[in-house]
Amino acid sequence: MKVLGIETSCDECAAAVVEDGREILSNVVATQIPFHAEYNGVVPEIASRMHTEWISRVAQEALDKAVLKAEELDSVAATAHPGLLGSLLVGLNFAKAFAWARDIPFIAVDHMLAHLYAPRLEYADVPEKSPSVSATDAASATSVSYPFLGLLVSGGHTIICRADNFDDITVLGTTIDDAVGEAFDKVSKHYGFGYPGGAVIDKLAKSGNTGAFNFPMPSLHKGDHKYDVSYSGLKNAVINQIEKFRAGQIPEGGDKSEDIAASFQRTAVEILLRSLFRAAQDTGLTTIVAGGGVAANSYLRAALARRQDLRCIFPPLELCGDNGAMIAGLGYQYLVRGERSPLTVTASARVKSFKKRYP
């Protein structure tokens, strides 16, 4: 079954064709980053206007790359939530119209569930298109079985959850303020590197000393906040340090601006892992599946790889960020269960109906 996946929740205008929920036949991501970079963040009005201008061509390119005609598709899936409302509506309405015109099933999916699904995808021609994933990684990732712990880390969300099925997750912990990707983006902005900042900070941190600065860790270890995270304290401490550095107050042991980036990244990852490992211990779950833009972070990947007692599965780098393949893959799972979405489905900016807290 061939599914066209449409993703326009934020600043990537993306379409992909995936066969049987697994094999990526095409994956087109048209990024709007250069149009938002000068504003240091995504401008919702620009995003939705550009999606409107691009979506037809992006979907056509996905079909062309898959060497398929529209009539050969079995279904269309699109992100319905969460995200920027104006952006979501473009992709969702495009997908509904596309399905209605061809009388094929339409499936509305959740963006965060799709990020969690990403490691289950494989490229039809793995070696050239996906250098970051070895054949063994791909095989083990696709064989992942439920339940597992999910680590969803992006620019808008930070969620630690238990996943019992592709559409059944229980949120154990989340951020009480900024998302982890947002913290990377804000630190990058203060460095003057602009938006998005995660990959830039990741690269800068490679030549810095991770132990140069002791930035604060939030004290969230009790009761309801046991698996939660917080990034606003860390973000402010790092921004203050950058300002001091600029003012010529160079502390001993941290004499390069790279040291601030490396120490920030270590702390940001430690905050995540402290809650994640606590959840692993309490639930007894030993498989962790990561997804979202921050799952591309090299320090996070290395830190999780060091845990011999846990099986940690990451999507290949190009499937960590927003893409249509994860939408098509997830859409297929609903289809095989015989489900369809009505054309009356609409977009919503927030995550919908995840169960809260592990009993």
> Interface with Zn ion by CB under 5 A: which residues?
154, 322
Q: Which is nearer to ligand KG4, 173 or 198 (CB)?
A: 198
Q: Which is nearer to Zn ion, 81 or 235 (CB)?
A: 81
Sheet holding 23-31, edge to edge: 106-110, 75-81, 2-7, 12-19, 23-31, 122-123
Q: Does 296 bind ligand KG4 (CB under 6 A)?
A: yes
Least separation in angstroms between residue 328's CB and ligand KG4 is 16
Which of 19, 122, 259, 322 lies at the binding interface for ligand KG4 (CB under 6 A)?
322
Q: Which amino acid is at 15?
A: A
Q: Which is nearer to Zn ion, 21 or 324 (CB)?
A: 324
Which stretch, 101-109, 120-128, 192-200, 338-346, contacts ligand KG4 (CB under 6 A)? 192-200
Instruction: Give the distance between the most distant pair of CA atoms in the chain.
Output: 68
Which stretch, 97-105, 178-186, 256-264, 329-337, contacts ligand KG4 (CB under 6 A)? 178-186
Least separation in angstroms between residue 9's CB and ligand KG4 is 7
Residues near 281 by Cβ (< 8 Å), separated by ≥ 6? none
Least separation in angstroms between residue 216's CB and ligand KG4 is 20
Q: Does 297 bind ligand KG4 (CB under 6 A)?
A: yes
Which of 184, 213, 264, 314 lies at the binding interface for ligand KG4 (CB under 6 A)?
184
Least separation in angstroms between residue 298's CB and ligand KG4 is 6
Q: Which does 258 bind (CB under 5 to 8 A by kind): Zn ion, ligand KG4, none?
A: none
Q: Which does 148 bind (CB under 5 to 8 A by kind): Zn ion, ligand KG4, none?
A: none
Q: What is the DSSP string of 132-177?
A: TS-HHHHHHHHT--SSEEEEEE-SS-EEEEEEEETTEEEEEEEBSS
Q: Which does 29 bind (CB under 5 to 8 A by kind): ligand KG4, Zn ion, none?
A: none
Q: Which does 254 bind (CB under 5 to 8 A by kind): Zn ion, ligand KG4, none?
A: none
E-strand stretches of the chain:
2-7, 12-19, 23-31, 75-81, 106-110, 122-123, 148-153, 158-165, 168-174, 287-291, 311-313, 355-356
Q: Does 231 bind ligand KG4 (CB under 6 A)?
A: no
Which stretch, 24-32, 92-100, 233-241, 286-294, contacts ligand KG4 (CB under 6 A)? 286-294
Tokens of 102: 């061809």
Give the distance, in angstroms, between the CA of residue 295 and the centroid of all CA atoms in the same chain: 7
**67 vs 192: CA distance, rounded Å:** 42
Q: Which is nearer to ligand KG4, 132 or 142 (CB)?
A: 132
Q: Is 251 helix (H, G, I), strand (E, B) or coil?
A: coil
Note the residue count of the chain: 359
Q: Does 14 bind ligand KG4 (CB under 6 A)?
A: no
Site string for ligand KG4, 120-159 (x = CB under 6 A): ----------------------------------xxx---
Least separation in angstroms between residue 37's CB and ligand KG4 is 12
Q: Is 305 helix (H, G, I), strand (E, B) or coil?
A: helix
Closest to 79 (Cα-Cα) out of 159, 8, 169: 8
Q: Does 321 bind ligand KG4 (CB under 6 A)?
A: yes
Q: Does 91 bind ligand KG4 (CB under 6 A)?
A: no
Q: Which does 318 bind (CB under 5 to 8 A by kind): ligand KG4, Zn ion, none?
A: none
Closest to 19 (Cα-Cα) out of 117, 109, 123: 123
**152 vs 11: CA distance, rounded Å:** 18
* 94-98 contact pairs (CB < 8 A, 24+): 94/6, 94/8, 94/55, 94/56, 94/59, 95/4, 95/6, 96/343, 96/345, 98/4, 98/59, 98/70
Q: Give residues in contact with ligand KG4 (CB under 6 A).
A: 10, 154-156, 181, 184-185, 196-199, 202, 292-294, 296-297, 321-322
